[in-house]
Amino acid sequence: MTQSSAGDAAQHLAAFLEMLEAERGASVNTLSAYGRDIGDFVAYLDGQRLGLDNVERRHVSAYLERLGREGLAPATRARRLSALRQFSKFLVASEIIDEDAFEFVRGPKMARALPKILSIADVDRLLATAAERVTKAVGPDVLRSMRLLALIEVLYATGLRVSELVGLPRVVLAGDGKVLTIKGKGGRERLVPLTGPAMAALARFQAAVEQSGGSLATGASRRYLFPSRSAEGHLTRQRLGQDLKDLALEAGLDPQKVSPHVLRHAFASHLLDRGADLRVVQQLLGHADISTTQIYTHVLQERLKQLVFEHHPLAKPR
């Protein structure tokens, strides 16, 4: 790829990302992921001395094979192929290229992985350990422990995505504070109710923040429900993930099986286990397609199978 064509590719990628942000409401994290995935393919083309206008299906297949040899998981390769397909369609629609080389390319075969979940007892242990931390904390650890307890209570009560949770603005509590208005993927809004324990933990944390004189919330961070001294002004996804793993270890749980996303899974699977309607869970999770939510029904089916195999007298060898 010549220097000018490489520059053109970068311009086309920037235009594509602008379109995703303006027309589809893509988040910063989504735009960053698309930029990395497509940028890697552009770099591959550069190494092959190819431009976007002369990519053929064989080049795409060779690229995907290389990703497989590098050890990328099928899910990662499938995600990258999806991003490249959308980029290619954008280039065709913009009349930058004539043919879509990705149209008939097959993605990697993937076994549908069931989401990791925690039992109700596991979540209770996690919450009890977080509450115990609050009672034992001293100094600046008091606010941090109260924040973590409130975060876990809200996460388990609502099933929010971690990016939605940590970035909640304080104004979300306007009104009676019993229901949150969430702006999710693609700018779609949804309402999620809070449980009594979640409201109580939030109220205690917010009162403590006000009484602290700004030890956590200063300047722009005052806009957020879970303020922090980070550059973003709120607790980061990475920090929450690490705090959860530390708490899991303290609670006697496997830290590798505990994350914000696992708690989101627990919220959904526990609701369905107690008889909630799949459509209601879909709306609460903010899934655009109910097929995404249906994976939780598979989780319940697997659990039922395991119960039968473990406890039914005829399932055991004689």
Catalytic residues: 161, 185, 261, 264, 287, 296
Torsion angle (degrees, nearest 10) of CA 19, 23, 25, 31: -10
Residue 90 and residue 23: Cα distance in Å, rounded? 13
Q: Is-contact 293 268, C-beta < 8 A?
A: yes
Q: Is-contact 91 12, C-beta < 8 A?
A: yes
Q: Scan for tokens 């830290």, then name that residue.
A: 255
Smallest CA-to-CA distance from 258 within 267, 270, 249 is with 249
Q: In degrees rounded to 5, what are phi and psi of residue 94?
A: -85, 5
Query: Collapsing DSSP states into helix, strand and coil, what is residue 214?
Result: coil
Per-residue DSSP letter, 218: -
Q: Scan for tokens 């520059």, then name that residue.
A: 7
Q: Is-contact 265 117, C-beta < 8 A?
A: yes
Q: End-to-end CA distance of the chain, in Å?
A: 69
Q: Scan for tokens 């311009």, then name that residue.
A: 11
Per-residue tokens: 241: 């993930």
Torsion angle (degrees, nearest 10) of CA 267, 272, 277, 279: 50
Q: Is-contact 258 126, C-beta < 8 A?
A: yes
